[in-house]
Amino acid sequence: MQKLFKKILILLVICFLLDRGIGYLIDTGARQYAYDNRPGQILEGEMEFELLILGSSRAAYGYRASLIGDSLGMPAYNLGFAGSHIEFHRDVLKMYLDHNKKPKIIVLNIDEPFHFMEKEGYTYRTDFFMPFMADSFVRKCVVANSDKNGLLCEISSSYRQNENFFNALKFLLGGKEIADDNSLLRPDGSTSFGVAAIKPLEFKERSVVHNVENEEETRVQAFAEVMEICSSNSIQVVCVLPPEYRKVVPGFKDRLIELLPQGVSLLDCSSQIVDKSCFFDNGHLNDKGSLIFSKKLSGELKGLIVD
């Protein structure tokens, strides 16, 4: 039995050393492969923006941070991530505040009517965080929102990095990830979404009414947490309902107002743009639309900013 234990011990030591080495290599490769390095930039702690835009694809595609920032005279950055929901936005904000100078204003995009609900394609985007698993906060977030095992993540760095394995290999074989035409990042963090709609757009009527019972408790709680974090850090929050080419869902705005703490402004821009050539689809602005909307939004924000 002693012989077996001795050999197992030697194997474990070799595994430990190899594990660290493989984990390090994957970590390096995956970070360099990732086209969207915004979480990496956040972790580096060199972001000094006074205005941050948070939200999902509607934030990523619809808000030109540089244009808004220039107009307001404050450096701005877009931290919108396609397909992400409020729990993810909360963690992006926490991560930002942990590593960077706190901003003055946060523009929080509200996804009408799904902001507090479960919806397909609207998830906690662990994939954006994956290349940065070496960071303990990122790790905690990924473990909490995926089926990755927390204990194994702490024990083995190869296991922790295993989702990045093929990306690291791709980097070795072919260099950095190439973004497709609909997800090109601009220097201000916003994303380009092409110039026209793919299909001819029709204005969408919606007959559903917002139902509080369909809300997810965790989403409502995450929203409250975002408000609480901003309040405790004296960050001004402006919630924005972005333009849409469809009828708004009755009851959602009232519910949002109900959840907003005092002092938080709400800008309802949902019917601000009616020209369908400004939309990529019924819910997303294209490049032309984002330019128009960002200009309009800058004007409205000017009147809301508290010195």
Partner 1 sequence: MSFNSVQFLFFFPVVAILYFILNHKYRWLLMLVASYTFYMYWNPLYAFLILGSTVVDYFSAIKLFGEKNDSKRKRWLYLSLFVNLGLLFLFKYLGFFQEICQDGAAIFGLNYDLPIVQFLLPVGISFYTFQTLSYTIDVYDGAVKPETHFGRFALYVCFFPQLVAGPIERAVNLLPQFRERIKFDYERIVSGLFLMGFGLFKKVVIADTCGSMVKYYYSHMDELYGVGPGIMSVTFVFQVYFDFSAYSDIAIGAALVLGFTLMDNFKSALHARSLPTLWQRWHISLTSWFRDYMFKRLAKNTRNRHILFFYLFLIFFVSGVWHGASWTFVLWGTMHGVIVVFYKYTQKWRKKISKKKWYAGNERVIAYVETVITFLIFGIVGVLFSSNSVAEASYIWKSMATDFLQSVKVVLYNTESKRMAFLYLGKSSLEFVFLIVALVAVLTIERYQLLKGSFRAVVRRQKPFIRWSLYLIIIFSVVLYSVQLQQPFIYFQF
Does position 19 interact with partner 1 (CB under 8 A)? The reply is: yes
Cβ-based nearer residue to partner 1, 152 or 304: 152
By CB under 8 A, residue 148 contacts partner 1: yes
Nearer to partner 1, 11 or 304 (CB): 11
CA–CA separation, 14 and 20 (whole Å): 10
Q: Which is nearer to partner 1, 2 or 262 (CB)?
A: 2
Segment near partner 1 (CB under 8 A); pick from 87-95, 134-142, 146-154, 206-214: 146-154
The tokens of 218 are what? 């965790």
Of the candidates 25, 74, 169, 224, which one interacts with partner 1 according to CB under 8 A? Answer: 169
Given phi > 0 = left and psi -120 to 50 = alpha, else beta, which region is 214? alpha
Q: What DSSP character marks residue 149?
A: -
Report the distance separating Cα 212 and Cα 119, nearest Å: 15
Q: Among 126, 56, 43, 59, which residue's Cα sits nearest to residue 84?
A: 56
Whose tokens are 């906060």? That residue is 137
DSSP state of 189: S
What residues are paired with 80 via a beta bridge? 55
Residue 173 binds partner 1 (CB under 8 A): yes
Residue 166 within binding range of partner 1, rule CB under 8 A: yes
Nearer to partner 1, 157 or 294 (CB): 157
Note whether 24 binds partner 1 by CB under 8 A: no
Q: How far is the CB of 297 from partner 1 (least distance, A)?
A: 35
Residue with tokens 């100078």: 101
- Does 152 help bind partner 1 (rule: CB under 8 A)? yes
Candidate ranges 10-18, 102-110, 195-203, 298-306; the one touching partner 1 (CB under 8 A)? 10-18
Pick the closer one to partner 1 by CB: 80 or 131.
131
Number of residues forming the site for partner 1 (CB under 8 A): 24
| β-pairing verdict for 184-185 and 191-192 | antiparallel
Q: Please, what is the angle between helix 217-232 and helix 86-99, to 10°?
A: 30
* The Cα angle at residue 184 between residues 146 and 67, in degrees rounded to 5: 110
The amino acid at 217? E
State yes or no: residue 156 binds partner 1 (CB under 8 A): yes
- State yes or no: residue 137 binds partner 1 (CB under 8 A): no
Query: Of the candidates 56, 109, 126, 158, which one interacts with partner 1 according to CB under 8 A?
Result: 158
Q: Least distance to partner 1 from the beta carbon of 133, Å?
A: 12
- Rounded Cα distance between 258 and 64, Å, is 29
For the bound state, the minimum distance from the C-beta of residue 162 to partner 1, rounded and expressed in Å, comes to: 5
Choose the binding region for partner 1 from 13-21, 194-202, 278-286, 287-295 (rule: CB under 8 A).
13-21
11, 151, 156 from 8: Cα distances, Å: 5, 21, 17
Structure tokens at 132: 């940065």
Does the footprint of partner 1 cover residue 142 (CB under 8 A)?
no
- Binding residues for partner 1, per CB under 8 A? 1, 3-4, 11, 14-15, 18-19, 22, 147-149, 151-152, 156, 158-159, 162-163, 165-166, 169-170, 173
